[in-house]
Structure 1
């Protein structure tokens, strides 16, 4: 249940991978809804997108609470240059900031547009979301999130394939 100096706990690993899968589905459904011409397809994608975003919010708050109240992160990777540790810390912090901006702008977009009724099973049509200010933050946040995920995944692959320092074992189950 608790993290060790060389690896994350099962709780942290589970939250990480569930969040990762959900975020990729959110990005796909969000961009899919943005380009969908068919209103039925758009509503269908957004009916997946909105509840999944709420799940990501719960997972993210749960992860932060877990670290503050019950667990600690493993030690930094051995022999990693200081700039890599600083970069990893910055990317992780920005991932959280961008996730909260995305969640907040999504909620604001639903509230400002009145789309909640159509998305929560009621009648109605979807508005043109581009007419609402939170859409700008939501769209830019999605692009920034993709860039941060590329940096995060790229660094993990670099550590795994080039440095061969077992980085993936820190964020996986087992001994």
Structure 2
């Protein structure tokens, strides 16, 4: 497998970024919902100690992915015989992923900056975590998380439809 993509298959770099990001985003969704539902200070801080570095990693991967597509690689051609609406829906959903991921990270950074909670979370000082719901970025962060879950369900559903129903080998293009 080549580092860069070909006209019908994604390269090693794109495939690696995709699957690492997918795993980390699923971890972020799980830890984020768990942290939101946790009232115990120590437990919430422990969850956020994992959540925040994973989010920074996803930011770095997403930024690298954007630069990779923009400057260094080209995406494979759309699947043969895919209707125009599916090609447009695929482009739109990928763009929505980028916008949502960057929006989630921006609102998360906003919450950390406005709340001053980072020193508390990382144990540099002992205090009670703030009520994040009182911070303006919290609502967009919560809405973004639910929207991201919906995008993931649609994305996985479309990939499985292509693999099992259409049998057009779309899913194999994004594997090693």
Query: TM exceeds 0.5?
Result: yes
Q: Does 1:143 align with 2:146?
A: yes
CA distance, structure 2, for counterparts of residue 61 and residue 115 of structure 1:
25
The residue aligned with 1:85 is: 87
Residue 137 of structure 1, CA deviation = 0.6
Uncovered stretches (5+) of structure 1, i.e. residues with no partner:
none
Alpha-carbon shift at residue 32 of structure 1 (Å): 0.2
Specify the alignment match of 2:56 in structure 1.
54
Q: How many residues align?
A: 173
Is 1:129 paired with 2:128?
no
Structure 1 distance, partners of 2:53, 2:123, is 12
Counterpart Cα distance in 1 of 2:52 and 2:37? 17
Aligned: 1:39 with 2:37 = no
Query: Where do residues 97-112 of structure 1 align in structure 2 (5 Å cutoff)?
Result: 97-112=99-114
1:69 positional shift: 1.6
Q: For residues 123 and 58 of structure 2, what CA distance do their matches in structure 1 show?
A: 21
Deviation at 1:147, TM superposition (A): 0.7
Q: 1:153: which partner in 2?
A: 156
Query: Which residue in the other structure is 1:114 paired with?
Result: 116
Q: Match of 2:174?
A: 171
Runs of 4+ displaced beyond 4 Å: none
Give the C-alpha shift of residue 121 in structure 1: 2.6
What's the CA shift for 1:125?
A: 2.1
The CA deviation at 1:41 is 1.1
Separation in 2, partners of 1:169, 1:121:
44
RMSD: 0.8
User: What is the DSSP-based 3-state SS (H/G/I as helix, E as strand, rest coil) of the residue aligned with 1:140?
Assistant: helix
Compute the TM-score of the two structures, normalised by the length of structure 1. 0.97
Structure 2: distance between partners of 1:19 and 1:148: 14
What is the rounded CA distance, in whole Å, between the counterparts of 1:155 and 1:121 in structure 2? 43
Deviation at 1:120, TM superposition (A): 2.4
Q: How many angstroms does 1:167 deviate by?
A: 1.2
